[in-house]
Amino acid sequence: MLKGSIVALLTPFENNALNEDVYRKLIHYHLKNGTNGVVPGGTTGESPTLSHDEHKRIIKISVEECNGKIPVIAGTGSNSTSEAVELSKYAEKAGSDALLVVTPYYNKPTQEGLYQHYKKINDNVGIPIVIYNIPSRSVIDMSVETMAKLYELKNIVGVKDATGDLSRVDEQLKKMGKEFIQLTGNDDNALEFNKRGGIGSISVTANIAAKLCSDFQSSCEDGFKDSEKLDKILQPIHAAMFIESNPSPVKYAASLIGLCKPEVRLPLVGVKEETKKQISKALKSAKLL
């Protein structure tokens, strides 16, 4: 089961090159702190600026280091269906447990185009596929009806919902039922998302607050005991992580606590001085600094 605190893994760079040693250390930080799954090669991992070789490499490293202890949900989406299929087939062969596939950005396909895109990927792999619905980045919004139609396929198992619209949790639950996995892509709404029927988060904040995020998700599963208290601690961090474009803020935060350098690839840039102050304040409020 894909549930709980799943981290959208950062990709650490040094002099614009992938730092494999640090990447391995990041994964072990999550294994030590109760993270329930890792997503290599997602938006937070700067997938748009990774070469195909780098993208495949971080998937392979994730599988090696997790070693079956927690699921690897490989980010394999693309706005080119053939590229998404190729990367998805690689991820399955490399040993990934599941795939996270974003709706095709820039092309602006119709709902039928979305269906055919995911069906093509579904027909070429044999592991679970999680739909990543994020209209703010991809411009398109997959309808609940299209999602329900896709859920009839053998490998489509759930959604990372980054619409920010909590009513979608209710609609998707009503249409697809409890077995359809609903994970939020918005850290700030995780409490209400879970109360409505979600079972976890694919999280940016978990990169720097792995134990807090894990404890929070565990509390939700345990009848929401202490959930509100933990959510209150996490909210300032959630807000700070999106003052500027993700993942620049979370990489700076990671640098403050010694996890990796703050380096991002163009067209992303490092955060402004005022943002640095706000990030530091948020980390201190949660006793992470």
Active site residues per annotation = 132, 160
- 129-133 and 156-161: which strand pairing? parallel
Those residues whose C-beta lies under 8 Å from the C-beta of residue 45, and which sit 6 or more positions away, are 8, 9, 10, 11, 39, 58, 75, 247
Q: What is the Cα–Cα distance from 149 to 136, expressed in whole angstroms?
A: 23
Residue 149 burial (CB count, 10 A): 17
Q: What is the Cα–Cα distance from 131 to 142, expressed in whole angstroms?
A: 9
The SS3 of residue 8 is strand
Give the CA distances from residue 59 to residues 20, 193, 241, 260, in Å, rounded to whole numbers and listed in that order: 11, 28, 24, 18
Indicate the DSSP class of residue 115.
Answer: H
Indicate the DSSP class of residue 42.
Answer: S
What are 18's strand-pairing partners? Answer: 13
Q: What is the Cα–Cα distance from 100 to 232, expressed in whole angstroms?
A: 29
Indicate the DSSP class of residue 169.
Answer: H
Q: Which of 63, 84, 114, 49 is nearest to 267 (CA)?
A: 49
